Structure 1
Amino acid sequence: MGPFLSSVQVIGGPLPVVLWVLAGLALVALAVRPLPRGRRVRWALVVVSALVLGALVGLLVCWVVGDVLNVFDVALSPVSRGWVAAAFGGLAVAVASLVRSRPARRAGAVGAALLFVLVGAVGVNADFGQYPTLASIVGASSFPDLPRALLDAERTSTAAAGAGVAGEPAKGVVGAVTIPATVSHFAARQALVYLPPAALVPNPPALPVLVMLSGQPGSPENLFLAGHIDAELDAYARQHDGLAPIIVAPDQLSAPDVNPMCVDSAIGNSATYLTVDVPAWIRANLHVDDGPGGWGIGGFSQGGTCSIQLGAAHPDLFGAILDISGELEPKVGSPAHTTAVGFGGDSAAYEAAKPLAILSAHTPYAATTAVFGAGSLDTKYTPWIATVEGAAAAAGMHTTLLSSPGTAHDWYTVRSIFSQALPVLARAWGLAS
């Protein structure tokens, strides 16, 4: 069942098109009723009024939920608002069709209503790029376990990382691994590892490693299924003799709806897992560069916030940082709630965990490369990213600020920023001149 679910595309492919066509036909079927001529005009006015009023209600819901209550902590784009408005418009027509109708037409109206909701959800999902397949929606794994033969830090070579390796495969490999939480006891889900072509040959060179973190809600798979970072890495490797960084994508959340904020707390010892358990596993199983000059940490949204928190707090471990659409501070709801659940009510500890405070406490940074980026349409996170980048530069980091044209707080931004950032990070690691 897993391979089938992974093969059904929810973004792109025939399924969304089929749903859109069916929704259009359903709307036409609801709009057409066998009525006397005098009542046809009245019914046409009802349909048009229902469409308009339903759409306005949908826009109002977007404003209340997205702007006033800020339920998602992300501004809804005009495209997403349009899909919600369209779904509500269709729902209003379906409700109007229930009045004074025969049972068969009422049943059809209920079915159409469900279809309109589904189409709206698919449209919003396409705008965010969150769930590309049915497997990603139901949480089914899309990646096999990484072969044990590839997990051997002793498969060493005397070749320099920048030298390339003859005869390497054309593409890298992504596989699932279990990273034990030996010290942290954090309830992490399986991680994903990307090995570039140069890491797949006998006696591979030591390569840089980038720890990448998903957003929240999310999982490590989002980085590959929605962010397509493996495709970007393969493209880079093709132009650089098979060389690219190794990617380790651990689970910093424990569950999609949990946000441990990359600190050690009652929610979970996420920070220790990411800075002790994960690095220990990497050194024991992968042939990677030694020292912070060949290590980096990055992520998107909540994962981006984690990357600047941990990267700034541990320059002895991570010499590079990639913050894509991160926040100004870790949070779970209001500041009061965040302080209570994540810091035991200690407001000073919460303040000290914010990226700007961490940067100030560890300045100056002598050899840290930090790349920041956000979507040009992301009006909320773009100013935050600029603020953190400015603070990082003032603290001595070698910073780069990027923008993803025409995207918002979504996985299209991740792919764009990651593609732009990869050459910058590679130069810092010595993979490219």
Structure 2
Amino acid sequence: MIDTLRSLPLTGTIPMVIAWALLLLTFAALIALVPSRTRTRSALFSCGISLVLTGAAVGAALWLGQTPANELRPASFAALFVDLSSIFIFVRVLVRKFFSWRSLVSLLTLIVNLAAGLLVANQSYNLYPDFDSFFPTSHYNQATAEQIPEPDQQPASVSLAEWNQLRTAGKLQSANLPAKGTRVSMPVPTPHSGFHARNAEVFLPPAWFTTPRAQLPVLTLMNGTPGGPTQWFEEGGLAKVVDHYQATHNGIAPIVVSIDATGDVAANPVCTDSPKGKVMTYLTQDVTDWIKQRFSPNPNQKTWTIGGFSYGGTCALQVVTNSPTRYGMVPGGHDFGVWRRAIAEDFAYVAQRGGL
């Protein structure tokens, strides 16, 4: 029963119709709760103020947040307008008489209205595909950067073919693989670019913790804007994919590195070396040098890849066309939901190229 509830979808045609119906019905109900003699005036005043605030939000996204116009989602701002109007109407009901049945009913109605507005906004970006994505099931062990051994303290690494031979012969010192991989948040040194990036989110499969260690391929991912590196693990469904893969492949999976190529939640440094930051240098030199030095992956970078969604998808294409020797291939896209549905296939393709 619980698993069924967690798998209920929050995106798609039916959830979208339900969300808009709840949003508009609760908005109409709030207006109806205003006393009739002031209802029209209150509704017009609330909608007028909300229209101004919504316009300000659009302006802030375009100019302060430097969000491209084609990245804005009209449905999200329409929901924002309705939600703001609902809040002002609720305040109007509350001011008239704080303790009354109207106040209680309008409060409950407002809560449903705001929840419906969030569901409408979620339709635009597909960040939360189902209820499970709000509080995702843990598919990895958690570690701190200090718990990951430094390169000079790590065991020797061998090719995947040799590692498999040792595993089959029972000659791995860590014969009992961890049941799950490990996720760790780590800063990326930027000696070449000086780019101010947020921590990378790294998934190390169980095979990474054996002695000797397998040289694994690398899957590098980038978020869109607005967004951050944690999205791939927390809303993107990546953890479930990699955990299932390693569990069915003797603890072997690509090393996954979700990196920050924007520098902030709503930043858009256009994925090049510019006054906004040396993003291209960061991605093609700092990130790849750090991965090689820190995690002893497969040295053949043709087995690596870089991809992303929205800004990250466009940026990935720019990276591989400017520096084709750094990453072997590039999946990408502009729709988080489409990317999430395709990532299992892309992940398997990366693994195949890496000889997994």
- Per the normalisation by structure 1, the TM-score is 0.57
| Change in CA separation of 1:153 and 1:414 when aligned onto 2, cut-off 3 Å | farther
Matches within 5 A, 1:205-216: 205-216=214-225
Q: In the alignment, which residue of structure 2 is the partner of 1:264?
A: 273
Partner SS state of residue 73, structure 1: helix
Matches within 5 A, 1:100-179: 101-104=96-99, 115=111, 118-127=114-123, 128-130=125-127, 144-146=143-145, 147-149=147-149, 154-157=155-158, 159-160=160-161, 163=164, 165=167, 167-179=176-188
2: distance between equivalents of 1:12 and 1:118? 21
| Change in CA separation of 1:144 and 1:115 when aligned onto 2, cut-off 3 Å | farther
Structure with more contact order per residue of length (Cα contacts < 8 Å, sep ≥ 6): 2
Unaligned runs of 5+ in 2: 11-18, 136-140, 168-174
Q: In the alignment, which residue of structure 2 is the partner of 1:414?
A: 339
Matches within 5 A, 1:41-60: none
Q: How many residues are matched?
A: 305
Q: In the alignment, which residue of structure 1 is the partner of 2:353?
A: 428
Q: In the alignment, which residue of structure 2 is the partner of 1:201?
A: 210
Q: Write out per-residue CA displacement over residues 45-90 of structure 1, whole angstroms, 9 at most, x where no aligned residue.
A: x69xx7xx97xx99xx89x969xx9976347497x68955864674
The alignment-based identity, stated in percent, is: 27
Q: In the alignment, which residue of structure 1 is the partner of 2:16?
A: none
User: How large is the Cα RMSD of the aligned pairs?
Assistant: 4.5
Shift of 1:228: 2.1
Matches within 5 A, 1:16-415: 73-74=70-71, 76=73, 87=83, 90-91=86-87, 94=90, 97=93, 101-104=96-99, 115=111, 118-127=114-123, 128-130=125-127, 144-146=143-145, 147-149=147-149, 154-157=155-158, 159-160=160-161, 163=164, 165=167, 167-325=176-334, 409-410=335-336, 412-415=337-340
| Change in CA separation of 1:246 and 1:303 when aligned onto 2, cut-off 3 Å | same
Q: In the alignment, which residue of structure 2 is the partner of 1:339?
A: none
2: distance between equivalents of 1:230 and 1:159? 22
Shift of 1:119: 2.1
Partner SS state of residue 321, structure 1: coil
Unaligned runs of 5+ in 1: 1-10, 135-141, 326-408
2: distance between equivalents of 1:184 and 1:81? 36
2: distance between equivalents of 1:103 and 1:71? 43
In structure 1, what residue type is equivalent to 2:352?
R
Shift of 1:212: 0.9
In structure 1, what residue type is equivalent to 2:90?
A
Shift of 1:280: 1.1
Shift of 1:94: 3.4
Shift of 1:245: 0.6
Q: Write out per-residue CA displacement over residues 150-170 of structure 1, whole angstroms, 9 at most, x where no aligned residue.
A: 766653135427838553222
Shift of 1:233: 0.8
1: distance between equivalents of 2:179 and 2:150? 16
- Per the normalisation by structure 2, the TM-score is 0.68
Shift of 1:207: 0.3
